[in-house]
Chain A
C-alpha cells in the first residue's frame, strides 16, 4: 500500500525567507502527486499536481512553485514567503486506485 511522507510536521519561517517542503511516496511507482493548502482548518485549495517527472500543473497563480525531480518526490518551494502563505500543506498521491491518499501535512506559520 502507498505511504506518503511529509516533512517537517511544523515550520515557522520569517517573511521573505525561502521555503522547501518535501513529499515522498513509498509503495507505488509513477503516481499522480498533488499539493493542497488548507487555510483556517477548512477548505482545501489545489495548488499543483503532477502526472510524471518534470510535469507540473499549476492551479492558482501565487508565490509558490513545485517540482518533481524524481518519480516519487514532490517539492513545494518559495523564494520569498509572505504572511499569506501560512497554512496547512498537504501532499497527496494517487495511482491505479481512484482515491487519493494523503500525508500528515505540514503546518507552516510565516511570522
Chain B
C-alpha cells in the first residue's frame, strides 16, 4: 500500500539552530513530493515541492528539502530556526499515475524555543 511516514511526532529545536523534519515514503515509481505547514485552526500552506532535477529544493520562508531516491526520503530542513516556525508540518506524495491521490503523512509538530 502507498504510504508516507513521518517518524517523529514532535521535533524540538532552539531558535537559531538548524532543524530537520523527516519524511520517508512507500510509493512505486517516482512520485511528486511536497511539504505543507499548518498553523492552529487553519488550512495547510504549501512550502515546497520536488518534481525532478536537483535533489535539493528550496521553498518558502527559508525552508528546503532534500530528495534521496535510494532511501525514498524527502527531509525538510532549515539552517536557522525561528520561533515563528513552530507549527505542524506535513509531508505528502502524489503518485505519477492516473489516480490523482494526494497522500499525507501523520504530521510532525515543530517547536522552536527562544
A residues near B (Cβ < 8 Å) are 4, 6, 32, 34, 36, 41-44, 46, 49, 51, 59, 88, 90, 92, 94, 98-105, 107
- The prevalent SS among residues of A at the interface is strand
A4 nearest CB across to chain B (Å): 8
Interface pairs (20), CB distance under 8 Å: A4-B43, A6-B43, A34-B102, A42-B88, A42-B107, A43-B104, A44-B90, A46-B103, A46-B104, A51-B100, A59-B101, A90-B44, A92-B102, A94-B100, A98-B51, A100-B102, A102-B43, A102-B44, A105-B41, A107-B41
* Known A-B contacts A46-B101, A99-B34; A105 and B51 likewise in contact (beta carbons under 8 Å): no
Cβ contact of B32, chosen from A49, A51, A98, A107, cutoff 8 A: A98
Chain A residues with CB below 8 A from B40, complex form: 41
Chain B residues with CB below 8 A from A32, complex form: 100
Are A99 and B49 in touch, CB under 8 angstroms? yes
Cβ contact of B104, chosen from A41, A44, A98, cutoff 8 A: A44
B23-57 interface mask toward A, CB cutoff 8 Å, 1 = contact, 0 = none? 00000000010101000111111100101000000
A66 nearest CB across to chain B (Å): 15
